């Protein structure tokens, strides 16, 4: 469902510029895709600034702006500010932006389906927000004056909660949850796998460790193992730099979730038993792993239904976003699209963006 741009919004200002100042250029611009790029069309800087809050537009989806204040608000709620260098914080910032973009892609699509939120439903939700604020001694106007949100952002967030809750209620039935569990049982029932590794790294001297060289060596070694030129056991004995090399590189039994780096747990279940996986890069070094055997867990799906529902919701979020993002007009203004995030934050991002 589309909505009219508010007076003073970036979209409104751009339309006025096109209609009043540059009609011919605007017409040519609309007919030529050559003037657009993945970083967005050229726009005067003032059109990227919210006239009331001063927030900057960092991305847009089908002409709906995504603001920097939205990113900062989510970062605060995720508590990722403590003791993080700016380079790391930028990774999280770009990831939040990417999630907000993907969420808007989903919202745009769902608003064209039977799951859409009507203007009346959104207005009712706004009234509920007013009541909740009043119970805390705050008015909606005071809340909006904080500069963290305006009416359009608020209505968009409430629309998202309505349509996403509706969509999940339709799809996350007991039958579908059980089906999802059966296809991904190892994530939930306590299944574990016995794994060994060839390890490249210098934990006591990280400054002199050449990550690129080690990664290339691991790839080369993996290819030799897969071609039968050397066995995995021989590779461990000759190349592994971990103390476990004396024990065949044994890492023991690993579950899908646990105390090791999340990339290790994910890799242990990324390939069938008997195959090589990797190389995997963690903060400790480069790991080339072999999956030896699997021991099935005994937890029934009914005992894990909440965790299964959360994981299935995350799957649906990714599935719908991936399916419809290519049909959306997505632009980034002065920010890069989200890159890979530290897996230790995946659950927190999932809980924040996927939960209705």
pLDDT in tens, 40-72: 444 444 456 666 666 788 888 988 888 888 888
CATH of the domain at 266: 3.10.50.40
Nearest to 141 by CA among 122, 156, 154, 158: 154
Q: Are residues 123 and 163 in the same domain?
A: yes
Beta bridge partners, 289, equal: 197, 277
178 lies in some domain: no
Give the pLDDT of residue 75.
78
Confirm if 225 and 232 have CB atoms less than 8 A apart: yes
Same domain, 164 and 30: yes
Helices (H), the chain: 10-16, 23-31, 68-78, 86-110, 119-135, 140-145, 151-171, 174-183, 211-226, 232-239, 262-268, 305-324, 346-354
Does 348 fall in a domain?
Answer: yes
Beta bridge partners of 13: none
Last residue within a domain, chosen from 267, 295, 323: 295
Considering the domain architecture, whether residues 154 and 16 belong to the same structural domain is answered as yes
**What pLDDT band is residue 39 in, cutting at 50, 70 and 90?**
very low
* 181 domain residue, yes or no: no
| Same domain flag for 246 and 112 | no
pTM for the model stands at 0.67
Q: In this model, does residue 4 exceed pLDDT 80? A: no
Residue 307 CB coordination number (10 Å): 15
C-alpha 209, offset from chain centre: 30
Q: Are residue 239 and residue 148 in the same domain, yes or no?
A: no
Verify that 136 and 262 share a domain, yes or no: no
Instruction: Please give the Cα distance from 54 to 191 (Å, whole number).
Output: 51
Rounded Cα gap, residues 149 and 283, in angstroms: 37
Answer whether residue 48 is part of any domain.
yes
Query: What pLDDT is stored for residue 347 in this prediction?
Result: 54
Same-domain pairing of 157 and 101: yes
Mean pLDDT in residue range 272-296? 87
For residues 262 and 154, state if they share a domain.
no
**Which of these, 69, 74, 262, 258, lies nearest to 149 by C-alpha position?**
69
The total domain count for the chain is 2
If you average pLDDT over residues 235-254, what whole number do you get? 85
Mean pLDDT of the chain: 77
Which residue segment(s) compose the domain that 272 sits in? Answer: 192-295
Greater confidence, 203 or 124?
A: 124
Same domain, yes or no: 17 and 92: yes
Position 167 scores a pLDDT of 95
Predicted local confidence at residue 21, as pLDDT: 40
Q: Is residue 321 part of a domain?
A: yes
Q: Are residues 163 and 223 both part of a single domain?
A: no
Mean pLDDT of all residues in 330-337: 72
pLDDT given at position 253: 92
Residue 307, in any domain of the structure: no
User: What value does the mean pLDDT take over residues 115-134?
Assistant: 91
Question: Is 5 domain-assigned?
Answer: no
Single residue among 262, 295, 328 that ends a domain in this structure: 295
323 and 263 housed in the same domain: no
> How does pLDDT run across 181-231, given as a tens digit for each residue?
888 888 888 888 999 988 888 766 666 777 888 888 888 888 888 888 888
164 with 18, same domain: the answer is yes
160 within domain boundaries: yes
């Amino acid at each position: 469902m589309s909505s009219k741009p508010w007076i003073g919004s970036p979209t409104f200002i751009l339309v006025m510029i096109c209609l009043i100042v540059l009609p011919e250029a605007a017409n040519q611009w609309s007919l030529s895709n050559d003037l657009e790029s993945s970083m967005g069309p050229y726009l005067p800087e003032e059109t990227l600034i919210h006239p009331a809050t001063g927030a900057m537009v960092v991305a847009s989806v089908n002409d709906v702006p995504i603001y920097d204040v939205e990113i900062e608000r989510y970062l605060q709620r995720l508590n990722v500010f403590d003791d993080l260098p700016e380079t790391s914080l930028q990774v999280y910032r770009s990831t939040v932006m990417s999630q907000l973009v993907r969420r808007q892609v989903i919202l745009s699509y769902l608003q064209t389906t039977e799951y859409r939120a009507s203007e009346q439903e959104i207005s009712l939700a706004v009234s509920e927000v007013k009541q909740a604020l009043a119970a805390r001694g705050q008015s909606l106007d005071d809340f909006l004056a904080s500069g963290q949100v305006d009416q359009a952002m608020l209505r968009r967030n409430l629309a998202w909660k309505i349509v996403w809750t509706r969509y999940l209620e339709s799809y996350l039935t007991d039958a579908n949850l059980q089906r999802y569990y059966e296809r991904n049982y190892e994530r939930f029932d306590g299944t574990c796998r016995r794994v060994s590794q060839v390890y490249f790294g210098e934990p006591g001297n990280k400054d002199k460790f050449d990550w690129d060289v080690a990664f290339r060596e691991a790839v080369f070694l993996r290819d030799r193992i897969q071609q039968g030129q050397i066995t995995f056991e021989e590779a461990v004995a000759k190349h592994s730099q971990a103390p476990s090399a004396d024990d065949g590189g044994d890492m023991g039994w690993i579950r899908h979730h646990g105390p090791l780096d999340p990339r290790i747990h994910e890799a242990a279940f990324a390939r069938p038993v008997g195959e090589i996986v990797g190389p995997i890069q963690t903060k400790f070094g480069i790991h080339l792993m072999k999956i030896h055997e699997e021991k099935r867990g005994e937890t029934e799906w009914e005992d894990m239904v909440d965790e299964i529902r959360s994981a299935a919701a995350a799957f649906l979020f990714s599935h719908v976003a991936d399916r419809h993002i290519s049909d959306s007009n997505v632009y980034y203004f002065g920010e890069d699209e989200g890159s890979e995030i530290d897996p230790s934050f995946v659950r927190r991002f999932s809980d924040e963006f996927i939960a209705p």
